[in-house]
Amino acid sequence: MGSLFRSEEMALCQLFLQSESAYTCVSELGELGLVQFRDLNPDVNAFQRKFVNEVRRCDEMERKLRYLEREIRKDGIPVQDTGENPEAPMPREMIDLEATFEKLENELKEVNSNAEALKRNYLELTELRHILKKTQGFFDEREGSMEPGGQTSLTQNLLPEDTKGPIQLGFVAGVILRERIPAFERMLWRACRGNVFLRQSEIEDPLEDPATGEQVLKSVFIIFFQGDQLKMRVKKICEGFRATMYPCPEAPADRREMAMGVKTRLDDLNTVLSQTQDHRHRVLVSASRNIRIWMMKVWKIKAIYHTLNMFNLDVIQNGLIAECWIPVADLETVQLALRRGTEKSGSLPAILNRLTTIEAPPTFHRTNKFTKAFQNLIDAYGVATYREINPAPYTIITFPFLFAIMFGDFGHGVVMALFGAWMVWKEKPLSAKKTDNEIWNIFFGGRYIILLMGLFSMYTGLIYNDIFSKALNIFGSSWHVSLSDEELSHEKEFMLDPTNDKQYEGAPYPFGLDPMWQISTNKINFFNSYKMKISITFGIIHMLFGVALSLWNNRFFQKTLNIYCEFIPQVLFMCCLFVYLVMLVFHKWVWYGGVGSSGETAPGCAPSILITFINMVLMKGYEEKKPGSVCEPYMYAGQFGLQRFLLVVALLCVPWMLIAKPYLMHRNQKRRQMMVQANGGEGVIEEGGVTAEAPAAEQEDMGEVMIHQGIHTIEYVLGSVSHTASYLRLWALSLAHAQLSEVLWGMVLRIGLSSGGHSGGIILYFIFAAWASLTIAILVLMEGLSAFLHTLRLHWERKEVSKESRIVGTRVEFQSKFYYGMGYAFIPFAFETILEQAEENVVAEQCK
């Protein structure tokens, strides 16, 4: 039997590893990914473990690599991912790796600090150049206005005419961030009481800030003032506003000379800077080739040491002792891996011992890419108890099928199936693209579910004969219009007569619903009863299937008591009430109506099944045939008696479920006590200490068993009723879906289809776009999601484990019949998952 039906058999093993070979063995096991180690030192603090130093070294390496990666990304160099999976390096290689990373980091740091210094220098020189260039203009203006005999300007008038030559004005020149200029100007005005003169000019090109690498806009300013006191004040303000001041010679010749000097120095600096950048680039490019591999190596080493930290030290033999869960089927493979590990290190072989334990082993389902998504659906609600029947293989079909009953529309099904098929088709390139987009990841993870849901929706859509709310007439409708023109003109609306063989062929449309219904005005009435009946039928079969699975569970765990005291009454209860209901549905389909039906089988005589069922449960008295009526009150002879009998059997099942099991357990226990007493002390010796203590423990449990059984019974009886009603959601949702798609067609696409002429074509173009996008967004996406959730609810089970009583709560329709889901998952130590997680972290960090 495939392991998906039940979880794998697990063995708890003890592993003796020589300290020399422990590392290589764990590395091999990590590549294999089939072993779950148990932490043998849970009380030991993370810092007091044996290999804490190594873990710390790995962290350090990881930090360096992250630094390198950040730098690589900053320069926009692509990181090469060859898809190669390197083996975990030997411990001695760790030193080499450390040395390499150390060297790289230092080199990079040096290059970076050099580059920063150079850049700062460069910035200063550029600013100085700008100052010299801009201030030239200011000085020219001033000197122009001072020229004797030159044109008088407004500013000149402020100066007395008789002074010889210009007044000796001091000035400060510098560069400031452009956004600080207004505040700067205001501050200067206030602090110096308007006695300074500020000129400023914007530098057009943005400059690079060497510390942050950002581009900033700056302005050149020059401030003229008179006297030392003002000079001090101005300088203080400049410092306060983080303006950089540069010396600027007053004489034009000096300025020119300085400008020349600055230019040559800038040129030199440019060459040096580009060389430094080249060097940095070379270092990073060579690092980018290996960084993936290095990262993987470091992650692997770290994972190995983390695992080794969970082991116990064997002081005498200088080895390590590990405890681990291994699937029994893989014991051989694990042994082989251990042998490979010891061969690599060349020490004594590792020893694997199977232990016996009473502890519950972890649950391990071997899944592939197809079954994984379904297993996740189940596990999301509770991991199966060890070796319990796994609902996943049945869910693979029942889930998409129940979904399709609600989503039945061929057109929408095609859209969904194509989307799923595209994801399956492009599986490899799509999964290689790692994204942080959660919605996409959910869709992609469920690609096989989506494909199957689409395919089944196509089938149910064809059966419903519903394609974007229109029907196909492939085989020719069974209904015929035999009315003449004259008859038709009498009345506006007609009902085709199902008893007339001219209007109804007698045999239905061979596949799916007759297309005539889709264009009739009373189709809702017809679909209503049809969809309600199929949802009840499928719901009850689904639930019965769940109960039947519990038989396999009980047989597997050899709980014969559960079969007689739970399974049989449960099946009887369900058959007597609900399967009988389904029988009535089928009987009504066959017995009443149809071509040429008259008398007691005439369409008018058909009773409502719901009312019949309610009357049965309420034990309504025997009904006589009404005088003058052709209809019989009962659907078949002996119905009244049979219904009474079934109801009594169903009611008897309740105390059977409730009392039988606790009573039998109590009796067995008493008998065992008698045996022990009769045998005196011998029995105790024979069976060992454990059994001798057992009766006492069981006695205490009796009360709990009673409560548990009571809850279980109530839950089952009430559950059967409410779950049957709950399956009516299939009916409601499928009706709603069909209605919605019809409304969309009638309100939107019809406008486009009914507009004629050339402009009609253009209108139709846009209307179709609107209709198509609404169909995708509302009918496929939103309705699909709601149908998905309802299906999930029909499959899942909900439970709250409270401390007082073991299981209280409600479990939903299908799984509640057999599934306990009290297990815990098998999480093997595997490099694959560890690397995946580490990589996801990296991706998430990048996206930030």
Partner 1 sequence: MGASAIPIILMTLLWGAVGIVLPIILPKGPNRSLLQCILIITAVSCWLFWLCCYMHQMNPLIGPYMHNSTLLAVRKLWDE
Site for partner 1 in 224-253 (CB under 8 A): none
- Does 394 engage in binding with partner 1 (CB under 8 A)? yes
Burial class (CB in 10 A: 0-12, 13-18, 19+), 586: exposed
486 forms part of the interface with partner 1 (CB under 8 A): no
User: By C-beta, is 302 or 542 nearer to partner 1?
Assistant: 542
Minimum CB–partner distance for residue 502 and partner 1 (Å): 11
Cα–Cα dist 511/461, whole Å: 11
Per DSSP, the three-state class of 655 is: helix
Q: And the tokens for 372?
A: 């994984």
Residue 508 binding partner 1, by CB under 8 A: yes
Residue 51 C-beta: closest distance to partner 1, Å: 38
The residue (of 633 and 710) whose beta carbon lies closer to partner 1 is 633
Burial of 770: CB neighbours in 10 Å, binned 0-12, 13-18, 19+: middle
User: Which residue's CB is nearer to partner 1, number 85 or number 608?
Assistant: 608
Of 73-81, 175-183, 397-405, 441-449, the window that binds partner 1 (rule: CB under 8 A) is: 397-405
516 lines the binding site for partner 1 (CB under 8 A): yes
- Residue 392 Cβ vs partner 1, minimum distance, rounded to whole Å: 9
Contact of 517 with 527, CB cutoff 8 Å: yes
Sign of CA dihedral 123, 128, 131, 136: negative
Q: Give me 279's structure tokens.
A: 């060097």
Q: Does 833 bind partner 1 (CB under 8 A)?
A: no
The residue written with tokens 């029988």 in the block is 583
When binding is defined by CB under 8 A, the residue of 87, 107, 427, 497 that contacts partner 1 is 497
Bridge partners (DSSP) of residue 16 are 321, 351
For partner 1, the binding residues in 3-42 under the rule CB under 8 A are 4-5
Are 529 and 535 in contact by the 8 Å Cβ rule? The answer is no
One DSSP character per residue, 79-98 reads PP-----PPPPPHHHHHHHH
Using an 8 Å Cβ cutoff, are 260 and 175 in contact? no
Q: How far is the CB of 563 from partner 1 (least distance, A)?
A: 23
**Cβ closest to partner 1, residue 529 vs residue 786:** 529
Q: Which of 161, 162, 493, 804 binds partner 1 (CB under 8 A)?
A: 493
Q: Is there binding between residue 510 and partner 1 (CB under 8 A)?
A: yes
Q: How far is the CB of 657 from partner 1 (least distance, A)?
A: 28
Asked if residue 528 binds partner 1 (CB under 8 A), the reply is: no
Shortest spacing between CB 395 and partner 1, in angstroms: 10
Residue 548 binds partner 1 (CB under 8 A): no
Contact call for residue 517 and partner 1 (CB under 8 A): yes
Select the span of 281-289, 323-331, 512-520, 685-693 touching partner 1 (CB under 8 A). 512-520
Q: How far apart are CA 146 and CA 165, in angstroms?
A: 8
Torsions phi, psi of 659, nearest 5?
-105, -35
Give the one residue of 526, 636, 765, 766 binding partner 1; rule: CB under 8 A: 526
DSSP states along 534-602:
HHHHHHHHHHHHHHHHHHHHHHHTT-HHHIIIIIHHHHHHHIIIIIHHHHHHHHHHHHS-STT--GGGS
Q: Determine, following the binding rule CB under 8 A, whether residue 554 of this chain makes contact with partner 1.
A: no
Asked if 473 is part of the footprint of partner 1 (rule: CB under 8 A), the reply reads yes
**Complex with partner 1: residue 144 or 746, whichever CB lies closer:** 746
Task: List, edge to edge, every strand of the sheet that includes 197-202.
Answer: 197-202, 218-225, 170-177, 244-246
Establish if 424 lies at the interface with partner 1 (CB under 8 A).
Answer: no
- Of 422, 443, 538, 634, the one binding partner 1 (CB under 8 A) is 538
User: Is 498 near partner 1 (CB under 8 A)?
Assistant: yes
Which residues, other chains included, contact 285 with Cβ-Cβ below 8 Å and sequence gap of 6+? 77
Contact 31, 828 (CB under 8 A): no
CA distances from 401 to 169, 466, 609, 739 (A): 93, 17, 26, 20
Residue 765 contacts partner 1 per CB under 8 A: no
Q: Is 818 in the site for partner 1 (CB under 8 A)?
A: no
Token duo for residue 400 = 């998409």
Told to check if 371 binds partner 1 by CB under 8 A, we report: yes
Query: Is residue 606 within the footprint of partner 1 (CB under 8 A)?
Result: yes
Query: In the set 463, 472, 652, 776, which binds partner 1 (CB under 8 A)?
Result: 463
Question: Are the beta carbons of 441 and 435 closer than 8 angstroms?
Answer: yes
Angle, helix 447-464 to helix 369-379, in steps of 10 degrees: 90
Nearer to partner 1, 510 or 655 (CB): 510
Of 11-19, 341-349, 352-360, 483-491, which part binds partner 1 (CB under 8 A)? 483-491
Determine if 488 is a binding residue for partner 1 (CB under 8 A).
yes
- Tell me which residues in 610-649 interact with partner 1 (CB under 8 A): none
Closest distance of CB 754 from partner 1, Å: 15
Amino acid code (one letter) for 222 = I
> Binding segment for partner 1 among 251-259, 340-348, 491-499, 749-757 (CB under 8 A)?
491-499
Within 8 A by CB and 6+ apart from 781, the residues are none
Going by C-beta distance under 8 Å and a sequence separation of 6 or more, which residues neighbour residue 15? 321, 322, 323, 324, 338, 350, 351, 352, 353
Two tokens at 396?
A: 């693979």
Q: Is 746 in the site for partner 1 (CB under 8 A)?
A: no
> x/- string (CB under 8 A) for partner 1, residues 575-604?
-----------x--xxxxxxx-x-----x-
Query: With respect to partner 1, which residue has the nearer C-beta, 397 or 630?
Result: 397
- Identify residue 87 by its one-letter amino acid code: E
> How does DSSP assign 294-356, residue by residue?
HHHHHHHHHHHHHHHTTSEEETTTTEEEEEEEEEGGGHHHHHHHHHHHHHHHTSPPPEEEEE-
Pick one of 49, 480, 708, 793: the residue that binds partner 1 (CB under 8 A).
480
Q: How many CA atoms lie within 13 A of 381 on its CB side?
A: 24
Cβ-based nearer residue to partner 1, 312 or 529: 529
Residue count (the chain) = 848
Q: Is 509 in the site for partner 1 (CB under 8 A)?
A: yes
Phi, psi of 45 (to 5 degrees): -60, 150
Contact between 178 and partner 1 (CB under 8 A)? no
Listed ranges 131-139, 270-278, 317-325, 481-489: which one lies at the site for partner 1 (CB under 8 A): 481-489
Please report whether residue 533 would count as binding partner 1 according to CB under 8 A.
yes
Q: Is 365 in the site for partner 1 (CB under 8 A)?
A: no
